[in-house]
Structure 1
Amino acid sequence: MDVVEALQRQATACEDLGSPMYAELLRLLVDDYEVGGASAELLSEYEGRSFGDAIGLRLLAAVHGLVLSGAAPELAAFYPSVGGTWDPVLGWEAFEQVLRSRLGEVRSLLTQPPQTNEVGRSAALYGGLLQLVAAVPLPVRVYEIGASGGLNLRADRYRYVADGRSYGLADSPVVFDPAWSGQVPSVDLRIAERVGCDIAPVDPLTPDGALTLTSYVWPDMPDRLARLRGALEVARQVPADVRREDAVSFLRGLELSPGHVTVVWHSIMWQYLRRVDRSAIEARLTELGAQATESSPLAHLSLEPHRVLTHEHGSDGYVYRVDLQVWPGGTRRVLGAAAPHGQDLQWHVN
């Protein structure tokens, strides 16, 4: 995919998901790139990369990080995340100036893997976990691939409000209201282990780690920023083990545990994996599933995009499904669907 197409697609996604600022900024980047401006000097080497490389998000996060750290005060006046107001003319001039004046620094930041540890996806993972434990009432071991900072590993420590009921931790600083539509059971959920892996994990307990995670939140989306800041507070209270390891190696070292249900979960990370790695992960889950028993079951829970044909337009689109597969037996269920950041979550009637 060429850079212009990647930026245009990302602009559409930002617009659809509620960030008019980033949608506008990405379209201004397209114009700048096409005339050989500052962005061309930064991004031309990314021609031919896959959309999953998220080059647009990497660039925006790199600059947002400079704003959040106080290193780009001339741009801060236009970023709502630090109290500014976006202006497409003056804001773009300041953004372009940052690209030119900090070219080497921004280029270096572009090499880092995307770290979109979106807390909103916890609602899908937690709600799926409740449905699993209703059927398999055992303590849970959660193993997350592509865990980033491990914020979703603390999903049970957030509060979810739906249909007049409250789930999770009542006094949590992270609140989803409304969390979802549809029914989920209220069960006694106990997480015995919280372990994740990432090729470039972020430590949310450090100032640099918190800055990195915040930089990937879109500046004009205050609800997402509030959830992230609450999740960083929870992370300081609830330990989770996130290892620097690729997903295939991580799962090859995973074993089942008697008296526990072992859950492998992930959210919006499948696109970042090579096809060969996806196949290896699926093979390892099948292998572990063959070893599963009623006293040591295995579950695979995910929130990932699936391509569908939209009949209205005769073109491909995506549905972001919450899927659950449980062994022994390997039974698969589609539990529901949500938007990419976890909002508009709708559970299916079973």
Structure 2
Amino acid sequence: MRPLDVDNRMDVSARFADFAHREAYGNSERYDTWCRAIAADNDICAQIATLPPNKQQPNLVLAATRYLGVPEVPPEQFLEWLRETWDDVRHEVLARSTQTNEPGRTAAILPLLAQIEGPIALIEVGASAGLCLYPDRYSHVYDDTVRIDPASGPSTVVTRCTTAGGVPIPSALPEIVSRSGVDLNPLDVAADDDMRWLHALIWPGQTERDERLDAAAAIARAEPPTIVRGDLNEQIDALVDAVPDGVTAVVQHTAVLAYLDMAGRDRFYGQMARLAARWISFEGRGVFPQIDATIPESTQHDENRFVLALDGQAQAFATAHGQRLHWL
């Protein structure tokens, strides 16, 4: 292991402490306590700091432990397991990427998608296994009172979202006639190892998400999307150009562009301004300063950290997995 300076180690500690406080707290007690334990352990932080910066994400490190079968144990035992298994954890972290494919995010996207005139060709960049390409095949429940089902009847996949600020909840689901996407490493819901990784990305204690993932995967296996392997900035032109006349191209992405550098994000923003497609963005604040600039000043301090935007204009704040939506 290469020598580390204190600042580098503390960067890792701060990152895991922040993840515990802002993301895991109230959502996964196990991840909350594990991340706090990592943040307080200089040796573990030093190990994690040997990883490339883009591989030090808490979600990725923790998912690798889940993939390798970490037991759900108290923090002290977790740290002991992590020390003993570090070489294997490091191998998985370096070989994989964070490809959380949460169907629940479609609940946040749906109010925007339903406003767009169809029929729709839905295109996703950073599509993972493509499970967010089926909002019309899922049932959606808002505020435990409003339920929207597919025309064929209730779905085996049910999303749940609480709302604030007058969300324009649709009365019907959009007509989607094609589903396509691009990913650097597309996952296949028919492959056991890919499904194992997708389940590893779900946080401990979130059994509803595990069940929803399996149900969504079954839908995707029955009607597979077309996902090409490649760089999103290189492939998006061709995907939009392939949409036939009379069909509205809609490009969407959820928590993906943060993994590009600023030059890559700016390039994508420019392409979306130029292409003949509608654009739904679901990204953390700071990913697109151009979109953040459209957030009303009075709502800048909302606790939800993701910004939902249509055609480059902020429309709502949301939580990472679509559980809450606050309309601007």
Aligned to 1:304: 283
Aligned to 1:202: 187
Residue 81 of structure 2 aligns with an amino acid whose one-letter code is V
Aligned to 2:64: 62
Aligned 8 A contact 2:317 2:327 in 1: yes
How far did residue 174 of structure 1 move?
1.1
Does residue 121 of the first structure (1) align with residue 100 of the second (2)? no
Q: What are the residue-to-residue correspondences of 1:1-350 with 2, within 5 Å?
A: 2-16=11-25, 18-32=27-41, 34=42, 36-37=43-44, 40-41=46-47, 43-46=48-51, 49=53, 53=55, 55-67=57-69, 75=71, 78=72, 86-88=73-75, 92-93=76-77, 95-111=78-94, 112-132=96-116, 136=117, 138-162=118-142, 163-168=145-150, 170-178=153-161, 180=163, 182-187=167-172, 189-254=174-239, 255=241, 256-289=243-276, 298-307=277-286, 319-325=305-311, 333-347=313-327
Unmatched segments (≥5 aa) in structure 2: 1-7, 287-291
How far did residue 310 of structure 1 move?
12
SS state of the match for residue 236, structure 1? helix
How far did residue 153 of structure 1 move?
1.0
Stretch moving more, 187-196 or 151-160: 187-196
C-alpha distance in 2, partners of 1:30/1:319? 22
Sort the Cα spacing of 1:171 and 1:110 in 2 relative to 1 into closer, same or farther, 3 A. Answer: same
SS state of the match for residue 62, structure 1? helix
User: Deviation per CA, 1:11-69, whole angstroms, max 9, x where unpaired?
Assistant: 1133345112101101111222x1x25x633x13137x26xx552211110111122xx
Aligned 8 A contact 1:310 1:316 in 2: no
C-alpha distance in 1, partners of 2:147/2:18? 38
Aligned to 1:295: none
Aligned residue pairs, count: 303
TM-score by length of structure 1 reads: 0.77
C-alpha distance in 2, partners of 1:283/1:311? 25
User: Deviation per CA, 1:92-114, whole angstroms, max 9, x where unpaired?
Assistant: 32x33433443332111111221
Sort the Cα spacing of 1:187 and 1:30 in 2 relative to 1 into closer, same or farther, 3 A. Answer: closer
Aligned 8 A contact 1:205 1:235 in 2: no
User: Deviation per CA, 1:192-231, whole angstroms, max 9, x where unpaired?
Assistant: 2111111122112211011100101001222222222221
C-alpha distance in 1, partners of 2:19/2:173? 40
Residue 236 of structure 2 aligns with an amino acid whose one-letter code is L
SS state of the match for residue 185, structure 1? coil
Sort the Cα spacing of 1:28 and 1:171 in 2 relative to 1 into closer, same or farther, 3 A. Answer: same
Aligned to 1:294: none
Aligned 8 A contact 2:149 2:155 in 1: no
C-alpha distance in 1, partners of 2:56/2:253? 18
C-alpha distance in 1, partners of 2:107/2:200? 22
C-alpha distance in 1, partners of 2:147/2:222? 25
SS state of the match for residue 253, structure 1? helix
Identity %: 28
Give the RMSD, CA atoms, in angstroms.
Answer: 2.8
C-alpha distance in 1, partners of 2:141/2:303? 30
C-alpha distance in 2, partners of 1:119/1:15? 19
Unmatched segments (≥5 aa) in structure 1: 79-85, 290-297, 326-331
Aligned 8 A contact 2:122 2:133 in 1: yes
Sort the Cα spacing of 1:60 and 1:140 in 2 relative to 1 into closer, same or farther, 3 A. Answer: same
Sort the Cα spacing of 1:170 and 1:54 in 2 relative to 1 into closer, same or farther, 3 A. Answer: farther
User: Deviation per CA, 1:285-306, whole angstroms, max 9, x where unpaired?
Assistant: 22224xxxxxxxx200121222
Residue 154 of structure 2 aligns with an amino acid whose one-letter code is D
How far did residue 319 of structure 1 move?
4.0
User: Deviation per CA, 1:228-277, whole angstroms, max 9, x where unpaired?
Assistant: 22212222222111221111011132315310000010011121111111
